A and B are shown apart, each in its own frame.
Chain A
């Protein structure tokens, strides 16, 4: 057996990293934890409140409604973006000039900042001056995202699909490109139909990247704030008030720091646990693949 050397000075080497992480993550997070278990009547005086805020939030319909809207939003955009992204990837040219051209065009929406995307759609959808809103209105279709719940939902969903389907398509395309030609040749020899080629060759080979796409899109859409906030501001009424919009209203609008802190911790735990489930499923799939 070799003797292990002990050198406590080595701790100094990790110190800068620890300080960095402390300031960027640990301290802010612990501040939130701190707020979530205390109450204040101003003057910077805090009282121990235990789990009261958590209990209050869990029995508060407001949070449940926001969560419901959030799940609906994430569910709908996943149900549209994943199949649509695969479809786009399947129909992209595999090589040559047009392949590169498509890749560049598709990555454009990904480069636009969130609030700009929101502003684009906010103006695009306006009934008085927006191209989309004006056209729909002129065609006699009832559309007004500031007054009508359905219109508001359609607008934020179409906006998200426009913004993020490219990401799914790019990932799926990468998965498709990695399939060796021999698979397609074998399928031709076996007289497999187009559907069977997709079902038994392309889809299984894309599973890995698709799991990543679903995970990324789920996390991102579950935390989405800027875009719907710029377009609808959470309205009409509370119709498009998603979790993060609600949280910001509570924390900064009403300055209810205690409930907001409890809210964010639970929000965080939900994202963490769902992502963990995804990750576990992915790793298991990989193991089976080996």
Chain B
């Protein structure tokens, strides 16, 4: 296990990168704690695979250093880094048995057969494949193959980190849940440092202690699932996490009040004057329909999601979503909307602005 430090790391696929726009991964400083489970979350092309490949050594960063436990490994090849990686498509050695697959990394490193057999047994028990060890790998299903890949990673005791590159993409939905649970349990029991790349927020939020949200080559927020939900640092985080995502509405902010088209909204705290594009962000969970209070809104559609209702509405010419409890009434005369003031975040140029004074809401 190791602590992984990213020091001024950046990467561009263009060797003559001039402006920041040429960088697939923009400058980044971060320390991945030893033994924690991280998820790298973002839409396709946001640079998350680039970051993963730099950590695993498949890609040489164009700038900065990467350290494992304080030792610079920037130039070290994959094999020397002692990391394990599970790929999007299950990679197993088809002609070998499950046992030989699991033993492969150990045998290549010249361990003796008694140790190998012992270790393979142990790993097979961990991934629940003890009774399949004699089977050929080629006949197995995608989920079993993915377990073998995972086992091949964990079989080495000195592995620094386990990297996952969207490992559940080709797995059937009902097996996804099981594998995710198993992975979470393995992390809990054995404490490997795990980095999990995905574009699926449910996977990221259920798997990780900390979620790293990436957008356009930049890490926009690193936080616990709760932090990402309550205080998204960037409008993208608000929009990307949550279903539906956060409502972002252009507004004017003065002190502890925000104004939308001249209508006043109370904020949970006071803010210093700010420049540029100012918006407020409210999660649909913290917006409520009302008959009398708040600002005018026009309900367009109500979707019943079973446990709750999603109300799609129009608010000063802009779409807005509200999540209401299954039992909450939605009536034609409910033409106003209120927000929970303490849950309203303020954004300037897409980045969250910290309140100046914590006024009681």
Contacts and interface: CB of A to CB of B under 8 A. Distances in A.
Interface of A: 180, 182-183, 185-186, 188-193, 196, 200-201, 204-205, 288-290
B229 interface: no
Given A186-B85, A191-B109, 13 more contacts: A180-B89, A182-B87, A182-B88, A183-B91, A185-B85, A188-B58, A188-B78, A189-B78, A191-B108, A204-B94, A205-B94, A288-B136, A289-B138
Centre residue among A180, A182, A196 by max chain B CB count within 10 A:
A182
A186 B94 CA distance: 13
A288 to B, nearest CB: 7
Centre residue among A180, A182, A189, A191 by max chain B CB count within 10 A:
A189
A186 B87 contact: yes
B85 A189 contact: yes
A190 B104 contact: yes
Contacts of B78: 185, 188-189
B44 interface: no
B232 to A, nearest CB: 33
Interface string B314-349: 000000000000000000000000000000000000
9 contacts: A182-B87, A182-B88, A182-B91, A185-B56, A185-B58, A186-B152, A189-B56, A189-B78, A200-B93
Nearest to B83: A189
A183 B109 CA distance: 18
Nearest to A193: B108
Interface of B: 56, 58, 77-79, 83-85, 87-89, 91, 93-96, 104-105, 108-109, 136, 138-139, 149, 152-153
Closest 10 CB pairs of A and B: A182-B87, A190-B105, A186-B91, A191-B108, A200-B93, A188-B78, A204-B95, A191-B79, A204-B94, A182-B91
Contacts of B88: 182
Contact of A201 (B79, B84, B85, B93): B93
Contacts of A185: 56, 58, 78, 85, 87
Nearest to B159: A189
A201 B89 CA distance: 15
Contact of A191 (B93, B96, B105): B105
A277 to B, nearest CB: 22
A122 to B, nearest CB: 45
Contact of B149 (A186, A204, A290): A186
A189 B83 CA distance: 7
B59 to A, nearest CB: 11
Contacts of B136: 288
Contacts of B139: 288, 290
A185 B94 CA distance: 16
Interface of chain A, main secondary structure:
helix
Contacts of B77: 188
Contacts of B58: 185, 188
A49 B40 CA distance: 83
Contacts of A205: 94
Given A189-B78, A189-B83, A182 B89 contact: yes
Contact of B94 (A192, A196, A289): A289
Contacts of A196: 108
Nearest to A200: B93
Contacts of A191: 79, 105, 108-109
Centre residue among A180, A183, A191, A288 by max chain B CB count within 10 A:
A191
Nearest to A180: B89
A128 to B, nearest CB: 53
A190 B108 contact: yes
Contacts of A188: 58, 77-79
Contacts of A290: 139
A186 B163 CA distance: 12
A193 B104 CA distance: 11
Nearest to A196: B108
Contacts of B109: 191
A283 to B, nearest CB: 16
A204 B85 CA distance: 22
Contacts of B85: 185-186, 189
Contact of B79 (A180, A183, A189): A189
Contact of A192 (B56, B89, B104): B104
A185 B91 CA distance: 10
A190 B155 CA distance: 10
Contacts of B87: 182, 185-186
A65 B96 CA distance: 43
Nearest to B100: A200
A288 B105 CA distance: 25
Nearest to B79: A191
Nearest to B87: A182
Contact of B108 (A180, A192, A201, A204): A192
A46 B57 CA distance: 80
Centre residue among A190, A192, A196, A204 by max chain B CB count within 10 A:
A190
Contacts of A289: 94, 138
B81 to A, nearest CB: 9
B329 to A, nearest CB: 53
B18 to A, nearest CB: 25
A288 B140 CA distance: 11
A192 B109 CA distance: 9
Centre residue among B79, B91, B138 by max chain A CB count within 10 A:
B91
Contacts of B95: 200, 204
Nearest to B82: A189
Nearest to B105: A190
